[in-house]
Amino acid sequence: MSSLPYLLYTAAQTRELDRRAIDEHALSASVLMERAGEAAFSLLCTHWPDVRRIAVFCGGGNNGGDGFVLARLAHENSFDVSVFQVGESSRLTGDALAARQRLLGAGLTTVEFSGQNQLPAELIVDGLLGTGIHGDVSTDYRKAIEVINDRACPVLALDLPSGLNADTGMACGIAVQAACTISFIGLKQGLLTGEAVQYCGELHFSDLNVPKIIYTQQTPAARRLDYARLKKYLQPRPRHAHKGDAGHVLLIGGDHGMAGALRLAGEAALRSGAGLVSLVTRESHAIVINSGRPELMCHGLEQAQDLERLVDRATVIVIGPGLGQGDWGRDMLGYVVACGKPLVLDADALNLMARGVLPEVMLRAGNRVLTPHPGEAARLLGQSVEQIQHDRFSAVRALQEKYAGICVLKGAGTLVADKTGIGVCNAGNPGMASAGMGDVLSGIIGALMAQAIAQGREGPDVCLEAAQLGVCLHAHAADLAVKTVGERGLIASDLMPVIRRLVNPA
């Protein structure tokens, strides 16, 4: 078993990896099936060392074959094993049939699943459906999944939870709720985003010891992002550094009643290392923000034309937190988009763009990062939220194609896309579903961009690195923040001390 890889594949690409391992490197499909069963049984023994009674559900394809192998190995190691066959055993063919015959030869029997079977098990192994599912789960398999999900014992899913689409992470009507999932040969992109985050439980991976060269011959569909790998961009500052060397972030937003959003984004920019942070908000909010966080240089401006001096001094502009969609917000957005500075566009800046307040030529201009949540993404693309969530990879790709720059589709398993590909952040937790979290993210990304630009770097690569690191830092901070007190009740400002720690890696 290995740690989660960084390269992610579609179901079709994983089948191609299988084919290459078999056709080009003299590995038989039965050997790979045996290795899959061995890897899953090893995980079972490690993760649940006290379990001795298991129920293994096997379908009619190779996923069921993996289940037969695991069941035989468990039986040979003195486990109490019940094997339930879903679908007629007479329809089994090839390697799955051979795996079942070896199981029968070892002294085990299989029972046809009826929905009325007794399940005297401490753990269930899901070997029902693999990556080949298209459309909703059929009746027999749906019933089996319902029975599995109704049991109060943990589930180990083989390759992916049955009923889950490996490419999108969406359930095909229903899916197994697993405590652990072990994915084989290629980590499927859909397992790290959307509904899959709920269904997969703890995710594990085994490459089944296939030759490494097969991965060099297949371009991945996406890449996994994590803070541990991206923190290399947070280099120590020289001892003679001054605040100008760390960039100047200008944040614009906080229309009437929404000053808090701008304050959170501004403080996040400070805690992420920006040397200077200026805020532009409504005049009535300036005194309150200045008194609450004096390190923020807060300006109350009512007219967009008064932005010129501040815009000229800024390294990066973040616009959107609490901006509102009235005339004030529209005028501010139009001014900063036309100025040509690197931008982070969030919240109401995106809603205004979706309403068509900007000329077409401005929609794709310059170095920029867009950070929509699914609702904002739906408005930007003229779709429903359900359509966005049904295939988040297609959605973020469409956003990038339409608006250019870097597009961050927030949510469980946040996606970061540029014109060359998609990254997936599998950190984060449900506690982040609270007001202000997106504002904090926009401040983090703006600060990271500003620091890189102030150090002499520029262009799309700076935006991409800032977006990827910012997303992972934000999610990792939330994971650390909930470790001792739990997810419920997490608020955006709880992240501030953790962010400061993470931007100073040891």
Question: The tokens of 343 are what?
Answer: 């931008």
DSSP 441-498: HHHHHHHHHHHHHHTT--SHHHHHHHHHHHHHHHHHHHHHHTTTT-STT--GGGGHHH
**Radius of gyration of the chain from Cα atoms?**
26
Q: Give the predicted TM-score (pTM) of the model.
A: 0.96
Exposed/middle/buried for residue 156 (C-beta within 10 Å: 0-12, 13-18, 19+)? buried
Domains with residue ranges and CATH for the chain: 7-220 (3.40.50.10260), 243-502 (3.40.1190.20)
Could you tell me which of 293, 225, 274 has the C-alpha nearest to residue 443?
Answer: 274
Which residues, at least 6 apart from 406, have a Cβ–Cβ distance to it below 8 Å?
A: 368, 369, 370, 400, 416, 417, 418, 460, 463, 464, 467
The tokens describing 129, both together, are 């459906």
Bridge pairing between strands 187-188 and 406-409: unpaired
How many whole angstroms separate alpha carbon 19 and alpha carbon 39?
20
The reported pLDDT for the residue numbered 99 is 97
In degrees, rounded to 5, the angle at the alpha carbon of residue 305 between the alpha carbons of residues 303 and 306 is: 70
* Measured distance CA(175)–CA(161) in Å, rounded: 6
Q: Block means of pLDDT (10 residues each) for the chain, length 506 residues?
A: 88 97 94 98 98 97 97 98 88 92 96 85 97 90 97 97 98 98 98 97 98 95 98 93 95 97 98 98 91 93 97 98 98 96 98 92 84 99 98 98 97 98 98 98 99 91 98 98 95 98 94
| Distance (Å, whole) CA 414 – CA 478 | 14
Residue 214, pLDDT score: 96
Q: By three-state DSSP, how is residue 403 classified?
A: helix
Contacts of 71 (CB under 8 A, 6+ apart): 54, 56, 58, 81, 83, 103, 108, 125
User: What pLDDT, on a 0 to 100 scale, did the predictor assign at position 2?
Assistant: 59
Structural contact between residues 294 and 351, judged by C-beta atoms closer than 8 angstroms: no
